[in-house]
Amino acid sequence: MKSIRPARLGKWPFKLIGVISWLGATSFVIFSSLLILVFPELFTQFPVFVEKTLNYSLYSALPNNSHVLGQFIGSEDARIAVLADYLRNQRSPMAGNSSDFVQAADMYNLPWTLLPSIAGKESGFGKAIPKNSFNAFGWGVFTGQQTGVNFTSWENSIYTVAKGLREKYFDRGLSTPELIEPYYTPQSPAKGHPWLHDVLYFMNEIENWKGA
C-alpha cells in the first residue's frame, strides 16, 4: 500500500505573499505622504494632554498663549525668563537669581519689576557694591554712610529687602516709587528725582523687554 504524501505547493504562494506585503507597505507610505501634504495641521498640533500641561494661566502683563524669547511658557516662568534675559543683557551677577526676584515679589505682594529696578539704580544691577556685601539695593545706607547692610548671598538680600519693602513701606501706604523715594533716598527729590526717574525707567524697560 502506497503512503499518501501532501501535494507540494511550490514557492509561488510565498512570493505572492511577499508581493502583497510590498504593495501594502508602499501604499501606506504614499498615503501617509499625501496626508501630510494635504493636512499638515494634523501633525503639528500638540496632543490634548500636552496642551493642558503647557496652558498655564498667564499674568496680566502678557497675552494668552505667550511666546517669550521664542518659547511658549506660562506666566510665572515668563517673568523669570524675561528678567533673566534682561539681567544677562545688563551683565548683572544677579541674572541667576531671577526666580528669587519673582518669588520674593509674589511672597510679599510687590510689583515684580520693583526690586530689580531698585538694584539697577542703586548698584548697576549688582555690579557696583561694597565688597562681599551682596547689597545691590543700597539697603541700610543712611545719610553720610558709604556702606549699608551686608548680606550672605544674593538670595538673602533679595528676600530681606522684599520683606523690608513690604513692612516698612507698602504696609504704611508707601506703595509706589513716587511715595517710596523721599524715604528710601531722601536727597533725591531735592535733586530733581533722579532715583524715581531711573527706577521707573527700569521698571518699564523690564516690563516690556523683548530681548536684545
Could you tell me the three cell numbers for 120? 539697577
Q: Which residues in the chain belong to E strands, given as ranges?
A: 67-68, 71-72
DSSP conformation class of 141: -
Which pLDDT score is estimated for 100? 97
Which pLDDT score is estimated for 60? 29
> Is residue 86 a part of any domain in this protein?
yes
Residue 144 domain boundaries: 58-207
3-state secondary structure of 164: helix
Instruction: Provide the CATH number for the domain around residue 142.
Output: 1.10.530.10
> Is residue 5 a part of any domain in this protein?
no
> Is residue 150 a part of any domain in this protein?
yes
> Is residue 30 a part of any domain in this protein?
no
> Is residue 76 a part of any domain in this protein?
yes
Please indicate, yes or no, whether the overall pTM of this predicted structure exceeds 0.75: no
> Is residue 128 a part of any domain in this protein?
yes
Cβ density class 128-159: b for 16+ within 10 Å, e for less: ebeeebbbbbbbbbeeeeeebbbbeebbebbb
Which pLDDT score is estimated for 20? 67
CA distances from 45 to 37, 42, 77, 83, 97 (A): 15, 6, 22, 29, 34
Domain count, the chain: 1
Q: Mean pLDDT per 10-residue run, the chain (212 residues)?
A: 51 60 63 57 40 29 40 66 97 97 97 98 95 90 56 96 97 97 94 97 96 77
CB within 8 Å of 84: residues ≥ 6 apart: 95, 96, 98
DSSP conformation class of 128: S
Could you tell me the three cell numbers for 63? 497675552
> Is residue 16 a part of any domain in this protein?
no
Which pLDDT score is estimated for 76? 58
> Is residue 35 a part of any domain in this protein?
no
Which pLDDT score is estimated for 15? 61
